[in-house]
Copies of this chain bind each other. A is one copy, B any other.
Amino acid sequence: MSERRETPVRVALLGCGTVGSEVVRRLLDDSDELAARIGAPVELAGIAVRRPDKHPELPQHLVTSDAGKLVESDVDVVIELIGGIEPVRGWLLTALRKGKSVVTGNKALLAEHGAELAAAASETGVDLYYEAAVAGAIPLLRPLRESLAGDRITRVMGIVNGTTNFILSAMDSTGAGYAETLDEATRLGYAEADPSADVDGYDAASKAAILASLAFHTRVTASDVYREGITNISASDIGAAKRLNRTVKLLAICERVTAEDGTESVSARVHPVMIPRSHQLAGVSGAFNAVYVEAEAAGELMFYGQGAGGAPTASAVLGDFVAAARNRVAGGRGPRESAHAVLPVRPMGQTPTRYHISLDVADKPGVLAQIAQVFAVHGVSIAAVRQRDKHSTASLVVVTHLAPDAALEATVSEISKLDVVRNVVSVMRVEGEDS
């Protein structure tokens, strides 16, 4: 880059926790390198934190508790790493409306108010980047928004929450139950004291909303995303999966669904899924994230890397910052997302899924016929059945073909009430294999 200007790009940082302090460190330590890449020097204009006295490690003349004032000051780019909806939403809208570019990792805010923020950025022609909001360090949003802009994405499916992946990986390898494994994860720092955002799937649902919006050029919010967490996954679910050479993962799944009449809709959902151990996502363990993308022309793609942590997330934040800063220097702005497609969101009940059902049934003739009849009544086609005797009961495993989720749910509900069914061992959705 030959051009180089003297006027610095001024940046304000809101929030200085694990990721923020890593961002500060790199902004200060790598300032020459960043300046070379941007084409102008970088000046850290201020750091807003709630309790300035708690941050003796920061350059004190930069620290302020007044985020609102910092946002309105003479800065070019605002990096927001506080999280949560209010008061952050107001600050970022102010920044955008005053012509400052915004870099944020705030998935909850984007999943809820992404449209409003994008509109504000559009009005003043500035950048709104948020690579850090999904899958940490993995470059995923920019590829979806830009690299695949000439293709038609049909599916985005992935592991986007490290806490639940850590817990499920541990349950799989130790055979322990959910509660016990959660305790261990909390002790090791993989789960927060209040783990609900992770284990109930809220975090993954926000990310699914962001991914679906970008992939399908349609505004999808967190409330559009069907959500089931991992709190009901039992050791027997994991055991049932293991016996079939499968494993259980919490997946965010965003699909373009085409109805028989050709109309399209979007399905966005987060729930536990049984996948074959040979599946690429099965090998992703611990705190790693991986996202699988299918597009009409590109075919199958996979992106893999660290989904959280100070340094990895800071990498995504700084990548966005350099892009936004370069655009300030060059006088342009990056390609924005588009929501021109406006596809309807398909309710979960109408979304085609496949179930794996594991039952203990009475060991006598006619049981399978009786159960198969329930599937038939609900229009659910059976892909495979496996029966095994154990004392006076038999174990029965059924895997279905694709059917509307509501039909599958109704089938399971009716089957569980049959006299011949002693126990419903495990019911789980299946992805990633034929039949």
Contact = CB atoms under 8 A, between A and B. Distances in A.
Interface stretch (A104-112, A198-206, A334-342, A384-392): A334-342
Interface in A134-173: 137-139, 142-143, 146-152
Interface stretch (A92-100, A226-234, A318-326): A318-326
A309 B296 CA distance: 13
Interface stretch (A80-88, A237-245, A298-306): A298-306
Given A298-B315, A299-B312, A311-B299, A152 B30 contact: yes
Most chain B CB within 10 A, of A147, A320, A334, is at A147
A418 interface: no
A435 interface: no
A297 to B, nearest CB: 4
B299 A302 contact: no
A122 interface: yes
A318 B149 CA distance: 7
Contact of A298 (B302, B305, B321, B332): B305
Contacts of A312: 297-299
A317 interface: yes
A36 interface: yes
B317 A150 contact: yes
Interface string A124-137: 00000001000001
Contacts of A152: 30, 33
Contacts of A2: 122
Contacts of A34: 150
A303 B140 CA distance: 10
A315 B148 contact: yes
A326 B316 CA distance: 23
Contacts of A296: 311, 315
A150 B36 contact: no
Nearest to A146: B323
Interface in A278-304: 280, 295-304
Most chain B CB within 10 A, of A34, A131, A335, A336, is at A335
Given A34-B150, A217-B37, A22 B319 contact: no
A305 B297 contact: no
Given A143-B143, A150-B315, A301-B305, 5 more contacts: A37-B338, A150-B321, A297-B315, A302-B304, A332-B333
Interface of A: 1-2, 22, 26, 30, 33-34, 36-37, 122, 131, 137-139, 142-143, 146-152, 217, 280, 295-306, 309, 311-312, 314-323, 326-327, 330-336, 338-341
26 contacts: A1-B336, A1-B339, A26-B297, A36-B341, A137-B295, A137-B299, A139-B146, A139-B148, A143-B147, A146-B319, A146-B322, A147-B316, A148-B319, A149-B322, A150-B314, A150-B319, A150-B320, A151-B315, A298-B306, A299-B305, A299-B312, A300-B305, A300-B306, A330-B333, A331-B332, A334-B334
